[in-house]
C-alpha cells in the first residue's frame, strides 16, 4: 500500500522552518557554531536552535525538548493540517508516533541542579509527564489534540526515521485514518559529554566522507510529517512513502557492524517493499555522520549496492547530527528534492575518503528525481531506510 505524505515541516539550526532550510541548503550556509552550551567547555561545534529560548510558557510541560517540539509544530501548515484531519475523522482516528533520544533529559539535568534542602525536587520540577521516556508523544498529543494511539520510539539515531514505518503499518491495518509522525531531540550535557567520552566529537566543522574527517558535530532539531493512505486526500504534496526497511543487527552498543550487515538489510528491504531496483533510485541522503567508522562502512555499502548513477550526499554539516531527530530531518530533506528538483551537495567535502568510490559531490545538482532514499543508522545496530517517490 502506498502512503501519501500530505504535509511536512522541519526546524533546526539550519532553519527554523522548511523555507529557511531550503535557503540555507541553496546558499550552503551552515547553522553550526562553536560550542556555547551553558556548563560545557568542550572544543567542538554544535547546531543550536536559538529560538527555543523564546518558548518559556509551557507550564507543567516546560523543557528544552518540548520547547523545540512546540516551536516546530507552529511552523508551516502542520497545525492546520492536523486540525483539519481531526475535524474530518475525529481525534481518536488520528495516530501519533514520535522519535527521540533524549526525551527531555535536559529538564531532568536542570532539576538535579536545583534540588531543595531535603535533596528532593522543587515544585517547578515535579513534572511526571516530562521526566518520562514517552514525553515527546505525550506533549505532541497535548499540542495537537490527537487522541488516537500514540507511541514514542527511542532507537537512538534511527528513532524518527522509524516513525514513518510505524505510521505506515497503522494505516495499512486500518487502525487510524491519518498519522502525525515527528521527531525531536535537543542538546544537553548528557548527550554532548556522552559523545565526547566516546571520542567521537570533532573540534572542527564536520566533513562527512572526507579523507580528513575527524569526528561529528551534534545538533538539535524537530520535524513533523502527516501521513495518509494514498488516494484518500486531495491536498497531498505529490509524494508517497514507497518503501521502508528496518533492521537491528545488535553488533555493538555504539560501533556499527564492520560489514554493515544491518544497514545492508534495511536498504534492501526498502527497495524490495517499494518494488524498485537500485538503479531506479535517483538520490540517497546518507546517514553520513563524519565519524571514521560509520562513513567508511556506509560508503562501501553504497558502492556495492548502487550504481555510480545514484547521486549521494550527507547534509549533517548544515545542522549537525540531531540524533533522535536526524531521521525525520533528513527524510524531509530527501523528500523535498522531489519538490525543489535540487539535490543538495555534501557540504565541506573536499577530498573523498581514498577507500571509497561512489557518486558524491560537494556541489548541488539540478535534477528531477523520481525516487529518493534516506538512511538512518543508530546505536545498537538499529537501522532504518526510507524510500520516497513522486505520486503517480
Catalytic-role residue among 287, 312, 371, 384: 287
The C-alpha atoms of residue 187 and residue 323 are separated, in whole angstroms, by 10
Q: Mind giving me the DSSP string for 10-42?
A: EEETTBSSHHHHHHHHHHT----EE---TT---
Local structure of 313: helix, strand or coil: strand
Catalytic-role residue among 157, 206, 369, 384: 157
- In degrees, rounded to 5, the angle at the alpha carbon of residue 325 between the alpha carbons of residues 320 and 326 is 50
Those residues with Cβ within 8 angstroms of residue 32's Cβ, 6 or more apart along the chain or in another chain? 13, 45, 46, 47, 205, 206, 217, 219, 317, 318, 319, 320
Q: What's the half-sphere exposure (Cβ side, CA atoms, 13 Å) at 148?
A: 24
Pairing of strands 218-219, 311-313: unpaired
% helix, strand, coil for the chain, step of 5? 40, 20, 40
The C-alpha atoms of residue 130 and residue 124 are separated, in whole angstroms, by 12
Does residue 252 carry a catalytic annotation? no
The C-alpha atoms of residue 374 and residue 283 are separated, in whole angstroms, by 8
To the nearest 10 degrees (0 to 180), the angle between helices 159-172 and 326-340 is 70
Local structure of 356: helix, strand or coil: coil
The C-alpha atoms of residue 105 and residue 98 are separated, in whole angstroms, by 16
Catalytic-role residue among 321, 369, 371, 384: 321
Does residue 212 carry a catalytic annotation? no
Does residue 384 carry a catalytic annotation? no
The C-alpha atoms of residue 247 and residue 146 are separated, in whole angstroms, by 29
For the annotated catalytic residues, the residue numbers are 157, 287, 321
Amino acid at each position: 500500500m502506498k502512503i501519501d505524505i500530505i504535509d511536512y515541516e522541519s526546524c533546526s539550526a539550519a532553519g527554523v522552518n522548511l523555507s529557511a532550510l531550503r535557503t540555507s541548503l541553496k546558499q550552503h550556509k551552515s547553522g553550526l557554531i562553536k560550542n556555547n552550551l551553558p556548563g560545557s567547555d568542550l572544543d567542538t561545534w554544535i547546531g543550536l536552535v536559538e529560538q527555543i529560548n523564546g518558548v518559556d510558557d509551557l507550564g507543567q510541560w516546560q523543557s528544552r525538548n518540548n520547547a523545540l517540539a512546540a516551536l516546530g509544530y507552529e511552523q508551516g501548515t502542520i497545525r492546520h493540517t492536523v486540525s483539519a484531519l481531526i475535524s474530518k475523522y475525529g481525534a481518536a482516528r488520528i495516530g501519533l508516533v514520535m522519535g527521540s533520544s533524549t526525551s527531555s533529559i535536559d529538564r531532568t539535568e536542570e532539576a538535579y541542579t536545583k534540588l531543595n534542602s531535603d535533596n528532593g525536587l522543587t515544585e517547578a520540577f515535579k513534572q511526571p509527564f516530562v521526566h518520562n521516556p514517552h514525553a515527546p508523544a505525550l506533549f505532541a498529543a497535548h499540542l495537537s489534540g490527537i487522541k488516537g494511539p500514540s507511541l514514542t520510539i527511542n532507537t537512538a539515531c534511527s528513532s524518527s526515521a522509524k516513525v514513518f514505518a510505524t505510521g505506515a503499518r497503522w494505516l495499512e491495518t486500518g487502525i487510524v485514518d491519518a498519522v502525525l509522525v515527528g521527531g525531536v531531540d535537543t542538546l544537553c550535557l548528557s548527550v554532548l559529554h556522552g559523545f565526547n567520552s566516546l571520542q567521537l566529537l570533532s573540534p572542527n566543522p564536520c566533513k562527512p566522507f572526507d579523507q580528513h574527517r575527524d569526528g561529528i558535530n551534534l545538533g538539535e532539531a524537530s520535524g513533523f510529517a502527516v501521513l495518509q493512505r494514498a488516494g484518500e486526500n486531495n491536498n497531498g504534496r505529490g509524494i508517497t512513502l514507497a518503501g521502508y526497511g528496518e533492521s537491528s543487527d545488535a553488533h555493538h552498543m555504539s560501533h556499527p557492524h564492520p560489514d554493515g550487515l544491518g544497514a545492508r538489510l534495511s536498504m534492501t528491504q526498502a527497495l524490495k517493499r517499494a518494488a524498485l531496483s537500485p538503479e531506479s533510485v535517483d538520490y540517497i541522503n546518507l546517514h553520513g555522520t563524519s565519524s571514521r567508522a560509520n562513513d567508511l562502512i556506509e560508503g562501501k555499502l553504497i558502492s556495492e549496492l548502487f550504481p555510480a548513477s545514484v547521486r549521494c550526499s550527507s547534509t549533517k554539516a548544515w545542522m549537525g547530527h540531531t540524533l533522535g531527530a536526524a531521521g525525520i530531518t533528513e527524510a524531509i530533506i530527501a523528500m523535498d528534492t522531489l519538490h525543489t528538483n535540487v539535490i543538495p551537495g555534501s557540504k565541506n567535502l573536499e577530498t573523498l575518503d581514498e577507500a571509497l568510490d561512489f557518486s558524491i559531490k560537494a556541489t548541488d545538482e539540478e535534477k528531477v528525481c523520481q525516487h529518493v532514499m534516506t538512511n538512518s543508522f543508530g546505536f545498537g545496530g538499529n537501522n532504518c531506510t526510507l524510500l520516497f517517490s513522486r505520486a503517480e
